[in-house]
Chain A
Amino acid sequence: MSLWNPLSNDFLINPYLTYEAIRNESPVYLTQTGEYVITDYHLVSQVLKNKENFLVGNSKEWLERSIVYFKYKGKDFSAIEKAINSFILLINPPRHQVMRKFIMDAWQDREVDAIILNNCKVLINNIENDTFDFIESFAAPLPPMTICNILGLDLATYQSLRFHGEQMIKALDFYLRLEDLVKIDQSAKAFVGIFKEFVRKPPAKGLIRRLVDLNKSKSDFLSQDELVSICIFLFVAGEETTVSFLSASIYNLLKENRWNDLDRFDTEIIINELLRYDGPVQLLGRITAENVELEGYKIPARSSVILCLAAANRDPKEFKNPDKIDFERGSRHLAFGTGNHFCLGDWLAKKQTQIALEALYKNYPGLYLTEQDLKWKNQLAIRRLEKLYLQFKS
């Protein structure tokens, strides 16, 4: 049996054992499915910085080919292509820089503290019982609420989009099945429908308005379809990732008896180490543009490469005792990637987690895990808990 069993239950519960086994076997490991999995910190970082030889967009290519294929089987998944056409994460130079700069120019306003704090208060006030599912009552609603505020969308839109966001992000996952394509397509349709209207008639305030205005001032250099796709990505890029991070952070702090460390360490330092220890984005895909050699490992042209960020962040050559949480190590993790696609929302994710952790700690100084079984969602690229029951004792 191969070491690479990412769809097994064991892997979902604890992928780190597999990462370690694979790294020990070979830092560039060829799987039975034909991908090259890279688990070494320096190699992952090197690949992320090498945009000439390692292209993004393997999920986009695969989805586009699937759409053509299934069209002949009588299934129409074309909404997926519409939704993802301008996900900048999947676009290569030279177009990538232009689109990325456009988004950054429109998104200058980083005043988000008051929005986040308010959302945290609303959610915490709604928690009635001393035992509650943290995901359902806090981690899952907070990020889409905040991004809706930022985009200028109202509460009703948030309600109709949050579940679609969770479903849509599966478009970036590995080893999809037909039922996944069906669900991604449903959500893609919903997103395209809703955002088309908002791009045509943007809300008075917020990021959609600024994107649309900036585009006008540049004599519409982006099409409506491209703007719609950019908005969809801004919604989904920060949803599942931050939901995952909030819940994993609480889980890891409680499991390791480190909840009270929120009193002892700077929250920023805590967050930085938690991003290294158990970051949301576990795997990223790349395709080799030509034959490449990575410190002696040969990878043929047009190969799929899986960059394992979470394994890189536990590489013992880079981090002493990598499986231990250590707030004093000052870690240079790769949880937000590096190079030209470095996360555009890292500041927002960190700010949101910081404000949330501080508000939760203030309201729930005595917080505990319960005996209930943990459940992990069936997805690989972004690892996420499905339920996390907590108990508050005063």
Chain B
Amino acid sequence: MNVENIISYLKEIVATETDQPIDSINENNTFFELGLDSINAVYLLELAEQHYNITLSPLDFWDYPTIEAFAKKIYHDHFQK
């Protein structure tokens, strides 16, 4: 598991959710810019939690507001040895 894997998983679920091609998703845009709001954030949080079998905070999307920052946070809290 590394940050790159997590970034590509997050890109995938954001692309599906916002109905955009995965190549158009930039990991340095904010979730807000990518078209997410506080409701689909609830759903994506649940997806990511189940996918990695971890618990995240609903505020993580705002405290780590880009895919890259969020991926690093997940990696740091749950996978870094």
Interface residues of A (CB under 8 A from B): 1-2, 5-7, 31-34, 62, 65-66, 69-70, 73, 175-179, 181
Contact = CB atoms under 8 A, between A and B. Distances in A.
A69 B39 CA distance: 8
Chain B contact residues, majority secondary structure: helix
B33 interface: no
Interface stretch (B2-10, B20-28, B57-65): B57-65
B46 interface: yes
A1 B45 CA distance: 20
Contact of A1 (B38, B57, B63): B63
A66 B59 contact: no
Contacts of B45: 177-178
A7 B58 contact: yes
Nearest to A174: B58
Contact of A176 (B40, B58, B63, B65): B58
Contact of B65 (A5, A32, A69, A175): A32
A6 B46 CA distance: 19
Contacts of B40: 69
A177 B54 CA distance: 14
Given A7-B57, A62-B38, A32 B43 contact: no
B39 A175 contact: no
A156 B44 CA distance: 40
Contacts of A177: 42, 45-46, 58
Contacts of A32: 59, 62-63, 65
Given A33-B38, A69-B40, 6 more contacts: A2-B63, A6-B59, A176-B42, A177-B42, A178-B46, A181-B42
A269 to B, nearest CB: 39
A32 B59 CA distance: 9
Contacts of B57: 7
